Amino acid sequence: MTHPFNSSFRWRRTWPLVIVGLVLGLALDLAVFKLLPIPRSPQELAAPTVQVSPAPPAEVDESLPPLERPLSERERYLIAATLGLTAPPAPQGLPSKTPPLMILHDTAGELSRAELSARPRYTHSPLGDGIAVYLPREGEPIFTRPALFTPYRPTATAYERGFDILTEPQRNPLLRQAWRLASDRARQAVSRQLLGVLQEKPEDLANRMALWFNAKSDSAFNRYLASHPGEIDGGKTAGIWASADLCRRVLKNPEQPWADSPARQQELLQTCQKLQPWVEASRLRLHTAFNVELVQKEGSDCFVSDAQVRAYNQVADPAHRIAKGRAVPLQSADRPAYTDSQYEGLAKLYLLGALTAGRFPQIVTHYWLDQGEGRAIGTHCDPRGVDLNRLYGAVASTLNHPAGTLYGSQPRYGQNPQAGDTVWWSDFIMGGPAPGAL
C-alpha cells in the first residue's frame, strides 16, 4: 500500500491559499452576530478584537493520548515541515477546551475537478454549503472554505444544526417568534453587526432574511425557495444566526428593553429561554468543526440489496430515485472505494486542522455523528466504507506516534451506529470484509 505521504501531492501550491483563509478567520471575534442595512461607516466596518490562543506550553506530555492534550513543539514543527512550511503559524483561538471535530462525508456523486474548482470560495458567509474541503479521487484538495474553523458558515450535519437539542419544527417557530417580538431598534442593531462581520454576502441579504422571518411556516418558505432557486440563498441561515444572537443578548441582559413594547418583554425572554440550550450549543458546534467531502460515486445510497432499492424507488420522487435500480458496489478489484491520493489528502488535512487549532481534532464520520451515542437525528451513512484504520495509521506514522494511536472514533464497521458502529460498511457494497479493528 502506498504510504500516504510519499506521492507527489502538491500541497505547497495549495497551502498559501489556506493560510489566507486562516488569517481571515483570526480576524473575527466570537461575540458578534447581527443583521439588516449594510453598514457604511468605517466604525461599523471595523473588525472585532482578534482572539488568539496563547502559544502551546513549552513542555507537553506526548505520552498522553493526542485527543487529551495540545500539540507539542516537536509536533507543530514536524507538521509544518510536512505541509511545506518553514515554521508553524500561531494557533487559532477556538472557544472550547474539548477537541474540535474533523467531520468526514462522501459526495454520493462523481463530481469532476472542473465542477468543484468552479464552486465559489467563501470565508465567513451564509452562502453555499458548509463543506470546507473537497477531495477528488486524484490530485490536490479543493478548498471552498479555507478558514476551516469559523462560526460563519452553513451547517453540514444534523448535529451542527442542534437537532438533538431542538428539532427544526421546534426551533424555527421560536426563532421567528423571538424576532417578531423584538423592537425595530434591537433587530437593526443585531442585523447591522452581522452584515458588518460577513465577508461574502448579497446586497439584498437583509431582504432574503426577511422572507424567512415573515414566512408563515417552513413549508411555505421551502415552496418559495423551490420556485425561486438561487434568489434567496443565505437568507434562512443568516436569519437563524440573527435571531440566535438576539436571544444571546436578551439572555445576557434580560433587564434591557429588547421587545417592541414593555408588555411583550417577558414573552420575548421566555421564548429565548426555550431556545437557550440550542443557542449555547449552535455557534460552538459550528466554530469547532470543519467538514471534508470525499468524492465518491452515487452507488445505491445506504441500501445494500436490490429489494431495498426497488422498495425505495417505488415511493421516492423521480429526482431522488436510485438511478441503476439495484444495489451498486462501491469497491471492486480494479476500483478502490477511496484512492491513495484521497487518504493522503485526508491525513494532511487532519494535520492542517491540528496545526490551525493548536490541538488534535477528533475524526468522526457523518454517519456516526448524527446517529451514534443515542442520537437519531439523521439518516446519512457517509462516508461509506472509509478505512479509519488506514487514516489513523498514516497520521501516527508521520508524527512518530505509536501504532494504534486513535485520532477520533474507535474504528468499528457495520450498519448499527446505536450498537457502536462508527463507519458504515456492507461486505457486498464494499466488495469484502471490513478492515480489522485496531
What CA–CA distance (Å, rounded) separates 189 from 195? 10
Q: What is the pLDDT of residues 210-221, one digit of tens each?
A: 999 999 889 999
Kind plus residue range of the DSSP H or E element containing 133: strand 131-135
Residue with cell 432557486: 229
What CA–CA distance (Å, rounded) separates 225 from 223? 5
DSSP string of 82-99, one letter each residue = HTT-SSPPPPBP-S-SSP
Q: Where are the domains of the chain?
A: 11-160+295-430, 165-286
Which DSSP symbol is given to 378?
Answer: -
Which pLDDT score, from 0 to 100, does residue 412 have?
A: 95
Q: What is the pLDDT of residues 345-386, one digit of tens each?
A: 999 999 999 999 999 999 999 999 999 887 888 889 999 999
Which pLDDT score, from 0 to 100, does residue 18 have?
A: 47
Report the alpha-carbon angle 255-179-203, nearest 5. 125
pLDDT higher than 60, residue 12: no
E strands in 197-333: 289-294
Which pLDDT score, from 0 to 100, does residue 346 have?
A: 98
**Top-confidence residue, 22 or 34:** 22
Q: What is the pLDDT of residues 262-286, one digit of tens each?
A: 999 999 999 999 999 999 999 999 9
pLDDT higher than 50, residue 28: no
pLDDT higher than 60, residue 10: no
pLDDT higher than 50, residue 45: no
pLDDT higher than 50, residue 15: no
Contact 112, 250 (CB under 8 A): no
Q: What is the pLDDT of residues 172-184, one digit of tens each?
A: 999 999 999 999 9
pLDDT higher than 90, residue 9: no
pLDDT higher than 60, residue 387: yes
Kind plus residue range of the DSSP H or E element containing 222: helix 218-227
Residue with cell 425572554: 269
Identity of the residue numbered 279: V
Which pLDDT score, from 0 to 100, does residue 66 have?
A: 96
DSSP string of 318-356, one letter each residue = GGGS-TTSS---S-BTTB-SS-HHHHHHHHHHHHHHHHH
Residues contacting 14, CB < 8 A, separation 6+: 140, 141, 143
Kind plus residue range of the DSSP H or E element containing 162: none
Which pLDDT score, from 0 to 100, does residue 53 have?
A: 44
Instruction: Give the 3-state secondary structure of residue 101.
Output: strand
Report the alpha-carbon angle 319-383-148, nearest 5. 100
The predicted model gives 200-217 an average pLDDT of 92
What CA–CA distance (Å, rounded) separates 312 from 316? 6
Report the alpha-carbon angle 349-355-356, nearest 5. 90
Which pLDDT score, from 0 to 100, does residue 58 have?
A: 59
What CA–CA distance (Å, rounded) separates 350 from 356? 10
Where does the pLDDT of residue 426 fall: very low under 50, low under 70, confident under 90, or very high at 90 and above? very high
The mean predicted confidence, pLDDT, of the chain is 86
Where helices occur in 198-264 by DSSP H, the ranges are 205-214, 218-227, 235-252
pLDDT higher than 60, residue 308: yes
- Of the given ranges (31-40, 130-139, 157-166, 285-294), which has the lowest mean pLDDT? 31-40
pLDDT higher than 90, residue 206: yes
**Top-confidence residue, 234 or 14:** 234
Which pLDDT score, from 0 to 100, does residue 21 have?
A: 45
- Of the given ranges (19-28, 298-307, 397-406), which has the lowest mean pLDDT? 19-28
Where does the pLDDT of residue 259 fall: very low under 50, low under 70, confident under 90, or very high at 90 and above? very high
Which pLDDT score, from 0 to 100, does residue 229 have?
A: 79
pTM: 0.85
